[in-house]
């Protein structure tokens, strides 16, 4: 009985520790031309303003924010140009971090027709 109770307590601790883990994700965003505004959205939540390109920023995500099926979306906006949006799954972000140490994006902005 004590072993079962100990096992359940250990599993609960591991579960809580896994859910509360945080990971810093580096984003490096450059646009052509530079000076575009960058916003980020995590799986349908509110958009968060990150700054202007060129941008080199670190954002903290919890483990559950990078689970399968969840998407991190970034949008670049500049007056006179069409907005561009790109999304990454949690798995794609982890793969980029493992191979490149950052999530990299360099969109070429397209002039808007007047």
Q: Percentage of the chain with pLDDT > 90?
A: 50
Tokens 């493992």 map to which residue?
A: 98
Using a 10 angstrom Cβ sphere, with 0-12 exposed, 13-18 middle and 19 or more buried, the burial of residue 75 is middle
User: In angstroms, how far is the first alpha carbon of the chain from the final one?
Assistant: 75
The pTM of the full predicted model, rounded to 2 decimals, is 0.74
Cβ neighbours for 112, distance < 8 A, ≥ 6 positions apart: 80, 81, 82
pLDDT digits (tens, 9 = 90+) for 65-88: 677 677 899 999 999 999 999 999
Could you tell me which residue, 114 or 21, shows the higher pLDDT?
Answer: 21
């Amino acid at each position: 009985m004590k072993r079962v109770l100990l096992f359940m307590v250990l599993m609960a601790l591991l579960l809580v520790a896994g859910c509360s883990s945080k990971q810093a994700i580096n984003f490096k965003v450059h646009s052509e031309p530079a000076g575009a505004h960058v916003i980020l959205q995590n799986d349908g939540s509110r958009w968060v303003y990150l700054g202007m390109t060129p941008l080199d920023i670190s954002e903290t995500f919890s483990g559950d924010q990078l689970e399968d099926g969840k998407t991190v979306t970034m949008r670049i906006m500049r007056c006179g140009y069409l907005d561009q949006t790109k999304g990454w799954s949690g798995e794609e972000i982890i793969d980029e971090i493992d191979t490149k140490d950052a999530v990299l994006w360099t969109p070429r902005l397209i002039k808007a027709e007047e």
